[in-house]
């Protein structure tokens, strides 16, 4: 089975031209081509596409395996990176210099690739070790072996900050909370680790134990040592419930924690279930949602928009613009409010921006994170990989998102518990 993800739900309409790359998914001897375009990050505020197959290696046979791997990685970036100046560098010279060097082992080659990629000064274009690639792939599909937490994409000087904790997961049951800072993993300090590296070390085989040293700031500084047993998890990206507004109206509450391949179907099922329970208006909570699978953000937007509505524009390195449009009737036309905060990112911003610009929802909260770029994830021939920024996106009104964010209609900090209904305007 080759690695690959295709868009789920109804097809996306792209007028005039369809510029999404085709990929083959092989299963049981059957080849099928499906359009795909994916978005963010992993559990780390990164929109991603999983690219099918490694890049074919045509480098001279005289090179060592390590030099060939470096040339292969350089070529992946060269083929798709959005900034064709490569951060105003002589990109080919960088390749020649790196390939000429001798490397004693694979780890030295990995370090060389990291150095090449870091020269782009793009936090979302990054090298992934084999473990990190496997971790990102499992996060995108929703299947994972770990303890059920997400790390804040930026990290902190003190360590790795917890963004979300999966309810009823091992981390939750052991008392880990959002905003906790993990300062050690199995006795090793985390200050030099990226969130990707930290996530890879926390995950592992079901039944094994990971020891986290955690700092928590409440009334006083606490330091906790937590021994947590890993489990096979199916990340639940959507939860639902019915709340009662101050006007005694039933409000359908949908919390989207992240976006993966099943999110659109889960949100649709939630809306239909809440409608049966008498919901007359809906709240979509995107707070602390780091994004994930880009098409899922587009597909969820379609559930609220009429057919033919623009969801987003995607612009690639050649300046070619694709318009993503809803191709299905809305599941609901009832009033909608969307809760956002500073950690609402990537695919979450696609959804929030689409609903705001189409005057379909009122946005309440704080300005969002501001991640408006899309990455592909390409496996390399040795099982490692590269996440490469290949496009940016804009809202339906052509507003930039990257490093800008989505601004709320109502600036207000709402409680995380069910009293958030006090924040809602009358009738939205």
Query: Considering the entire predicted model, what is its pTM?
Result: 0.74
Query: Rounded to whole angstroms, what are the CA distances from 104 to 67, 74, 130?
Result: 10, 19, 19
Give pLDDT tens digits for 368-415: 999 999 998 999 999 999 999 999 999 999 999 999 999 999 999 888
Would the pLDDT of 44 be above 60? no
Whether 247 and 299 have beta carbons less than 8 Å apart is answered as no
pLDDT exceeds cutoff 80 at 285? yes
The fraction of the chain above a pLDDT of 70, given in percent, is 82
Q: Quickly count: other Cβ atoms within 10 Å of residue 50's Cβ.
A: 22
**Where in 247-396 does DSSP place strands (E)?**
250-256, 281-285, 310-316, 321-325, 336-340, 362-365, 373-379, 385-394
CA distance 76 to 384: 12
| Torsion angles phi and psi, residue 118, rounded to 5 | -65, -25
Helix axes 347-357, 294-302, angle to 10 degrees: 30
Residues serving a catalytic function are 346, 357, 371
Query: Is-contact 9 259, C-beta < 8 A?
Result: no
**What average pLDDT score do residues 133-140 get?**
72
- At residue 134, does pLDDT exceed 90? no
């Amino acid at each position: 089975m080759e690695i690959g993800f295709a868009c789920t739900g109804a097809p996306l309409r792209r007028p005039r031209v369809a510029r999404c790359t085709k990929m083959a998914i092989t299963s049981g001897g059957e080849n099928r081509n499906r359009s795909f375009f994916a978005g963010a990050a992993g559990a780390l505020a990164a929109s991603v596409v999983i690219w099918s197959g490694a890049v074919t290696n045509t480098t001279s046979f005289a090179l060592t395996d390590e030099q060939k791997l470096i040339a292969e990685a350089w070529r992946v970036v060269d083929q798709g990176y959005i900034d064709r100046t490569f951060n105003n560098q002589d990109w080919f010279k960088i390749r020649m210099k790196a390939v000429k060097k001798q490397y004693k082992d694979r780890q030295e080659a990995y370090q060389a690739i990291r150095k090449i990629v870091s020269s782009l000064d793009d936090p979302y274009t990054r090298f992934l070790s084999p473990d990190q690639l496997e971790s990102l792939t499992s996060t995108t599909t929703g299947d994972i072996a770990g303890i059920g937490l997400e790390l804040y994409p930026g990290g902190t000087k003190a360590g790795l900050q917890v963004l979300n904790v999966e309810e009823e997961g091992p981390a939750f049951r052991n008392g880990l909370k959002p905003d906790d800072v993990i300062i050690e993993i199995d006795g090793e300090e985390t200050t030099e680790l990226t969130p990707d590296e930290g996530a890879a070390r926390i995950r592992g085989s079901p039944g094994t134990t990971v020891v986290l040293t955690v700092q928590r700031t409440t009334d006083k500084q606490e330091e906790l040592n937590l021994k947590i047993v890993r489990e096979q998890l199916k990340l639940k990206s959507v939860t639902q419930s019915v709340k009662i507004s101050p006007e005694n109206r039933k409000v359908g509450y949908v919390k989207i924690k992240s976006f993966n391949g099943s999110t659109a179907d889960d949100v649709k099922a939630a809306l239909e279930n809440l409608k049966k329970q008498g919901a007359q208006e809906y709240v979509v909570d995107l707070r602390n949602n780091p994004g994930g699978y880009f098409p899922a953000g587009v597909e969820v937007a379609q559930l609220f928009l009429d057919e033919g509505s623009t969801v987003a524009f995607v612009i690639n390195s050649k300046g070619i613009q694709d318009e993503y449009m809803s191709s299905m009737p809305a599941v609901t036309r009832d009033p909608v409010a969307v809760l956002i905060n500073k950690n609402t990112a990537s695919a979450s911003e696609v959804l929030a921006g689409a609903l705001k610009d189409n005057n379909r929802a009122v946005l309440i909260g704080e300005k969002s994170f501001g991640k408006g770029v899309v990455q592909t994830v390409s496996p390399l021939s040795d099982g490692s990989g590269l996440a490469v920024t290949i496009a940016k996106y804009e809202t339906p009104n052509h507003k930039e998102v990257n490093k800008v964010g989505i601004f709320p209609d109502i600036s207000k900090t709402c409680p995380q518990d069910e009293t958030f209904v006090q924040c809602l305007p009358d009738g939205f």
